[in-house]
Structure 1
């Protein structure tokens, strides 16, 4: 699906970062935060730490790494909220069956797209900086990916929302490019070209997922 593939090629920096962001060594900088913001920052730290210790750095078959990554992704990312956002107004006109299928395909397409990039990790560090408020129930956590060879760092802003007594990630903004908004634009374009038929998007996501699985021998 050409539109979906462009998500990770908008900028070369975004490609490298999005592929390895959950598999980076963690460094923390900056002063202590207020309690609520500290929780948001801790979520980002945990995502990166678990990503490298239990997924990318683990000596496991790719299929098992993918299962672990799926658990990580669904635990710390608010996949249903992200899915509803990226579908936009189309969510309201979709049938319950179409909504359910979309959320499942959206989740799995992300899991297998990111899994394909586990090998991109090359010793980069994720330096976690300040957390700031985003409205009454949200937070931004700024970070940067320090690269080898004197290359410019890649700036990543994590957007999180309070969910119960913790936070969950709802967007990654890589070098100023919002992944959620990019998905939303791409998906809306596909649906518009299909005359408003959401099932066309679902079918294309299903095809993309099968290709991703085949590429990884699964």
Structure 2
């Protein structure tokens, strides 16, 4: 697979996101959804705290157990750089390390089509995303108002929709190198694993993975690509539908049509 480099003494500080221009691949994938940065939504203040309110934390070494929450040969030599927090690798980083190996095997394989890469990447996300929690968070107050039947129907269609949306953000890229940069504490429950995806023909792509421990395992709560939070984008999009087009049932119908 290639060399694995260990980077020690990574300090946990506040989360921040790039303000510059986004790579073309990101722009193309988010125009239809609308750009929503983590510092500009009330969701980020209550559930995903924005950078300006995060305080520096001590390096993570022992996560609380009560926290919420390859099939083809590579064409080119690749390196995976794994960030370590303190002297021990954090379980959240290990989770992304494992995922990065699988992702790299898919996204660096130029022998398969872009659509095939998206499909394979989507399967990995379906396994590692905390889809029930994401589904509730992006619904906001509308989740509390929905009936049990509406919640069940919504979750059925949301699963397919969110996997497709996340994989479209990243799954079509060809990758030469996947670097895990560092691991940071975000708020009281979450861990942010920052990574960089490199293709020699494009600008480096920043991907930040937000994880929360639930049922003894770390699962992905959010993926920010180029500084744009997928969870906040979905909340913005769903909120607009619910306000302007009326009700949870209508949102479910729209998601069903998009899943076809």
Q: Same fold (TM over 0.5)?
A: yes
Alignment correspondent of 1:191: 242
Alignment correspondent of 2:193: 141
What TM-score do you get using the length of structure 2 for normalisation?
0.61
Alignment correspondent of 1:96: 148
Q: CA 1:131–1:181 in structure 2 vs 1: closer, same or farther (change >3 Å)?
A: same
Partner-residue secondary structure (3-state), 1:194? helix
Q: CA 1:56–1:92 in structure 2 vs 1: closer, same or farther (change >3 Å)?
A: farther
Aligned-residue offset at 1:11: 6.7
Aligned-residue offset at 1:77: 1.0
Alignment correspondent of 2:221: 170
Alignment correspondent of 2:58: none
How many residues align? The count is 190
Partner-residue secondary structure (3-state), 1:160? strand
Which structure 2 segments of 5+ residues have no match? 1-21, 31-73
* 2:197–2:204 Cα contact (<8 Å) kept: yes
* 1:109–1:209 Cα contact (<8 Å) kept: yes
Aligned-residue offset at 1:194: 2.1
Q: CA RMSD in A?
A: 3.4
Correspondence 1:1-218 to 2 at 5 A: 12-14=24-26, 27-33=80-86, 35=88, 38-53=90-105, 66=119, 72-113=124-165, 120-149=172-201, 151-195=202-246, 197-210=247-260
* 1:131–1:139 Cα contact (<8 Å) kept: yes
What TM-score do you get using the length of structure 1 for normalisation?
0.72
* 1:140–1:157 Cα contact (<8 Å) kept: yes
